[in-house]
Amino acid sequence: MTTFQRFGDAPPREGETPVTGGTWRVPSETPVAFVYNKRNYAVMLATPADMEDFAVGFSLTERVVDTVDDIANVDIHQSAWGIELHLSIAPEKLERLDIRQQRRNLVGRAGCGVCGLENAETFFETLPKVADAPVEVAMEALAGALADLRMRQPLNEATKTVHGAAWASRDGAIQTVREDVGRHNALDKLIGALTREGADMAAGFVLMSSRCSYEIIEKCARIGVQAVASVSGPTSFAIAKAREANLSLYCRDGKTFVRAAP
């Protein structure tokens, strides 16, 4: 599957822009539909890579299912207009699916984590405590992971436009990386990969190549991640939600990291 296209050397096609002075690679972005037990739920714009991870991670962070074991099967269908992810889930989860679907519309953009949300109370649902006490991540580990992340994002190296979500051990060694045009999508893909691998969420931390919004904290807290680091500053709501979950939040400040919460 092609995850980026290149242009500039050949005459531009319709919808493309010529680039002077070399070749420019741009990431692909395509509609991805989530279909549960033959019922449409949502359509997201995403980079067409790591689709099975995306299917699992999105289902967990949307709370369509509780565990990866609630998903019996994932079928990936490519069509002319995009990708359909057909998931078979436990029948008892369908009632929850109906309730959540009523609270959002069917289209989500890559840059937005709450498209179509109709009930503001959703923002203030209490997050679970991920730890009895906030965990400590050494600054050397955070700096090492950040330096390693730059070398572990091939799509961003080619395009300079996509987000990365990484899982690192407590000593800063990156274990898994996922990329996408949407930061929430990248994190969903990472969560899907980690849960499919049976990773110990208490054994490391998530590193985001973007700013930390409340959705990042919520997604991580829902699966038990105890620490998150981001290369840009957090929002005030993200800090509040991290404190609520007892989740350690670190953000880069110049050449170092600072602790934002708890």
Closest to 119 measured CA to CA, from 141, 96, 143, 103: 103
Catalytic residue among 112, 212, 220, 251: 112
Exposure string for 60-89, b = 16+ CB within 10 A, e = fewer: bbbebbeebebbeebeeeeeeebbbbbbeb
Q: Rounded to whole angstroms, how far apart are CA atoms 150 and 207?
A: 11
Q: Rounded to whole angstroms, how far apart are CA atoms 262 and 119?
A: 27
Closest to 252 measured CA to CA, from 240, 234, 237: 234
Q: Rounded to whole angstroms, how far apart are CA atoms 222 and 233?
A: 21
Contacts with 210 (C-beta within 8 Å, 6 or more apart), sequence order: 163, 183, 230, 231, 232
Q: Rounded to whole angstroms, how far apart are CA atoms 151 and 135?
A: 27
Is 115 an active-site residue? no
Summary count for the chain: helices (H), strands (E): 7, 13
Q: CA 64: distance to chain centroid? A: 16
Active-site residue set: 112
